[in-house]
A and B are shown apart, each in its own frame.
Chain A
Amino acid sequence: MVSDIIRNLKKDLVIEFRTRVSFAISLAFAAISTIAISLVSGGAPFTDLVYSVLFWLILFFSAMNGLAHVFTREEEEGTSLFLMLNSGSDSIFLGKLVFNAVFFLILETVIAPLYLFFLQVVPASPGHFIAVAVAGGLAVSSSTTLLGAMVARAGGKGALFTIISFPVLLPVIWVSIAETAGSLSEGGAMSRGNVVFLLAFSALVVAISLVLFRAVWETE
Chain B
Amino acid sequence: MMPMFIVLNILMTATIVLAFLWAPSAEILGHSSRIIYFHVPVAWVSVLSFAVSGIMSIVYLRDRNTKYKLIEEKAHASASIGLAFTVLTIISGSIWAKISWGSFWNWDPRERTIVVLLLIYIAYFILRAALGDSPEKRRISSAYLVFTMAVMPFFVFVIPRMYDTLHPDTIINTDRKIKLATEMRLVLLLGALSFTALYINLYRISVRIISLRKTIEEDDDE
Contact = CB atoms under 8 A, between A and B. Distances in A.
A151 B219 CA distance: 34
A190 interface: no
A212 B134 contact: no
Interface stretch (B25-33, B147-155, B198-206): B147-155
B61 A215 contact: yes
Contacts of B150: 204-205, 208
A56 to B, nearest CB: 16
Nearest to A158: B130
A17 interface: no
Interface in A163-220: 163-164, 166-168, 170-171, 174-175, 193-194, 197, 201, 204-205, 208-209, 212, 215-216, 219-220
Contact of B143 (A157, A216, A219): A216
A168 B127 contact: no
Contact of B155 (A146, A147, A171, A220): A171
A215 B162 CA distance: 34
Given A204-B150, A220-B135, 19 more contacts: A147-B147, A153-B140, A160-B127, A163-B123, A163-B127, A166-B119, A167-B148, A168-B147, A171-B151, A171-B154, A171-B159, A174-B112, A174-B159, A175-B162, A205-B147, A205-B151, A215-B61, A215-B142, A215-B143
Contacts of A204: 150-151
B51 interface: no
Contacts of B139: 215-216
Nearest to B141: A150
A45 interface: no
A154 interface: yes
Interface of A is mostly: helix
Interface of A: 143, 146-147, 150, 153-155, 157, 160, 163-164, 166-168, 170-171, 174-175, 193-194, 197, 201, 204-205, 208-209, 212, 215-216, 219-220
Given A155-B130, A170-B116, A171-B154, A150 B140 contact: yes
B146 interface: yes
Contacts of A219: 136
Interface of B: 61, 112, 116, 119-120, 122-123, 126-127, 130-131, 134-136, 139-140, 142-144, 146-148, 150-151, 154-155, 158-159, 162
A154 B127 contact: yes
Given A160-B126, A171-B154, A150 B135 contact: no
B123 A212 contact: no
A166 B123 contact: yes
Given A212-B143, A212-B146, A197 B61 contact: no
B135 A164 contact: no
A164 B144 contact: yes
A186 B38 CA distance: 46
Contacts of B136: 153, 216, 219-220
A201 B154 contact: yes
Contacts of A168: 120, 147-148, 151
Given A150-B144, A171-B158, A175-B162, A164 B151 contact: no
A180 B147 CA distance: 27
